[in-house]
Amino acid sequence: MLHTLFSTTWGRWRLDWGQRTHVMGIINMTPDSFSGDGILRGGPEQDQAQVRVLEQASAFVDEGATLIDVGGESTRPNFTPLPLEEELRRVIPVITLLARHLPPEVIISIDTYKAEVARQALEAGASMINDIWALRRDPEMAALAAERGVPVVLMANMRGFEKREIVSDVTRFLAGSIELALKAGVAWERIILDPGIGFGTTPEENLTLLRRLGELRALGRPILLGTSRKSTIGRVLGNLPPSERLEGTAATVALGIAQGADIVRVHDVREMMRVVKMSDAIIRNTWRETEQ
């Protein structure tokens, strides 16, 4: 049984929970994304990259995405941290462009753990923060989210943390970050949780998290699931490269929705939107016979 949560509203935006699964399309402004979809791959000029990113984001929206997540720093294992100035150079012009051209109801999310990047992204038109360190890396991030009144995605990141039992570990991590958010003044209704598949977790732990994802519902907040093209899928399917992990991703999305995922963060929006619609028809009883 899926829990009923109150809607998250802020500014002109609204996310209703439980009625359908929201799809977040990924825009990687990087040359070294693990998934091979980085917009900057091959070293194109910035203006050419912006043309491509607008085309990609617009296609995502046309295909059904309600959120667009823009990131400038690779978070693959053993990644090299990006200087602040370079991250800003990659993402701020893109967010400005998307905010100007995408429909006003589309939610633009900034994927960063740096408060200054988030601050400038919000000023440029972003309306959500997606923090892979769940407010624990930059002490100013929680206060910024509270001040701007935007939703914040808190992702469990087990890199460098001692683990004992992965579901309990992730639950404790997220509970601690929820406390940080609330103490800073972030509204309860604007907190979203991400179990952090692949961030300091083994393939076996990732499968356990997916199998028991529903247990995170006890924390009382919506769940964002990001499994798209992850290495665990490649390992399970015989060491397939990211470009061949579509069906495996589809399985994790469908089963994640059955376990209570509210948002799925994906690279392949068109295909995953079909998976979401079919899953929602079964799990959430969204389909009606009159629909074509």
Q: Active-site residues: which are they?
A: 230, 265
Closest CA to 75 of 131, 125, 9: 131
Closest CA to 250 of 277, 223, 287: 277
Q: Are 28 and 71 in contact (CB under 8 A)?
A: yes
Name the DSSP letter for residue 71: E
Closest CA to 253 of 227, 233, 235, 229: 227
Cβ neighbour number for residue 51 with a 10 Å cutoff: 12
Quickly tell me which residue has 């907040």 as its tokens.
221
Closest CA to 82 of 115, 90, 130, 230: 90
Q: Provide the token pair at 122.
A: 């919000």
Distance set, CA 47 to CA 36, 43, 50, 90, 213 (Å): 20, 12, 5, 11, 41
Closest CA to 51 of 110, 97, 100: 97
